[in-house]
Amino acid sequence: MTKPAHVFDPTATLRNDDGSRLMLQRHPQSPVLYPNPLHRWEAMNVFNAAVVQHAGLFHMHFRAQGVDFISSIGYAVSSDGVNWNKLEHPVLYPQEDYETRGVEDPRVTWHEDDQCFYMAYTAYSPQGIMPCLAKSHNLIQWERLGPVIRGEDNKDHVVFPRKIGGRYVMFHRRPPNIWVAFSDDLLTWTDDRVVMGPRPDLGGWDEKRVGAGGVPIETPHGWLILYHAYDNQHVYRLSAALLDLDDPSKVLSRPQGFLMEPAETWEIRGDVPNVCFSCANPLVESQVWVYYGGADRVVGLATCKYDDLLTFVLAGRGEAETVVLP
């Protein structure tokens, strides 16, 4: 007998087949963003999007690849987070010598202390892969603050929504681990510490590399974070963890399982196969909405209840693994 089709209900709890694990529910209108062959800059792929809610609207910044496969960052706006209207031109495109091969993977943070938006994006050029920041008050015009880590290939950075102990905080990824760093001015980052790394001893899904997802969500229990991991077959999956509020290098809880893996055709086949890669996990009422790139070609949306996600990560207490240092 075939399994009955799953009916989308954002207030329901979705579990994997044996019921042992929470899973994200794909929105029935997903993918929610497609490339547009009429525009050179976004003709091939649109993926890995940042999403923030502001002034009653959803705002998306997405990585777009043109016919030359160079990435720019496009902007789209929505009243419901599902149906999007794109701007005709990108809001950020390669302009600096450290960006000549593209600006990639935006993660946008509303900063409570500074009352402005910071975009973390990856600059790609013959100089290497550099984590950069830009600042905006209106989400369209961005002022570059420049690269924040130089001299090494580094990416997957995202700014925390408030200062901790009077300093800015961000994740970054020094392969294969997620790191946290601190700054007084957003330009010089120090006190880097490893947060978590791959777990080769855990069945494989996060055995190779891990990297941060969207903006950490502050909860009474700690910072709730989503992250991606890939295995030796290069399959990108998503999961979550909980970090200490005052010291986010401290993992309070990290469940063994994942929340989502490539299963739909557009997650399995695209520009890069088998990829669910997220740069945004906004809290929308009582749900966490996870926007993610499907196979580096389209933007997907999957959701779960905030309470379910907290229960999932809290159940992982005591499961935190020791990190693998580079």
Buried b (16+ CB within 10 A) or exposed e, 279-308: bbbbbbeebbbbbbbbbbbbbbbbbbbbeb
Q: Which two tokens stand for residue 188?
A: 């010089």
Q: Is 43 in the site for ligand BMA (CB under 6 A)?
A: no
Question: Residue 119, interface with ligand BMA (CB under 6 A)?
Answer: no
Asked if 296 is part of the footprint of ligand BMA (rule: CB under 6 A), the reply reads yes
Short-list 97, 157, 102, CA closest to 127: 97
Q: How far apart are CA 132 and CA 192, in angstroms?
A: 16
Nearer to ligand BMA, 270 or 316 (CB): 270
Is the CB of 267 or the CB of 308 nearer to ligand BMA? 267
How is residue 23 written in tokens?
Answer: 């899973």
CA R_g for the chain: 18
Does residue 279 belong to the site contacting ligand BMA (CB under 6 A)?
A: no
Quick one: 313 exposed, middle or buried, by C-beta within 10 A (0-12, 13-18, 19+)?
buried
Among residues 91, 158, 259, 275, which is the contact residue for ligand BMA, using CB under 6 A?
A: 275
118 closest CA partner among 157, 150, 149: 157
31 near ligand BMA (CB under 6 A):
no
Q: Which of residues 47-76 bind ligand BMA (CB under 6 A)?
A: 48
* Cα distance between residue 307 and residue 286, in whole Å: 8
Q: Does 206 bind ligand BMA (CB under 6 A)?
A: no
121 sits near ligand BMA (criterion: CB under 6 A):
no
Task: Convert 299-317 into a string of H (helix), E (strand) and C (coil).
Answer: EEEEEEEHHHHHHHHHCCE
Residue 261 as a binder of ligand BMA (CB under 6 A): the answer is no
Is residue 171 a contact residue for ligand BMA (CB under 6 A)? no
Q: Does 294 help bind ligand BMA (rule: CB under 6 A)? A: no
* 46 touches ligand BMA (CB under 6 A): no
Distances (CA, A) of 1 to 4, 17, 232, 264: 9, 15, 34, 21
Give whichever of 272 and 315 is closer to ligand BMA, judged by the CB atom: 272
CB of 296 to ligand BMA, least distance (A): 5
For ligand BMA, which stretch binds (CB under 6 A), given 21-29, 81-89, 189-197, 270-278?
270-278
Site membership for ligand BMA, residue 293 (CB under 6 A): yes
**Closest CB 90 distance from ligand BMA, rounded Å:** 16
Among 272, 283, 315, 324, binds ligand BMA (CB under 6 A): 272
Structure tokens at 290: 């996870």
| Contacts with ligand BMA, residue ranges (CB under 6 A) | 48, 104-105, 236, 272, 275, 277, 293, 296
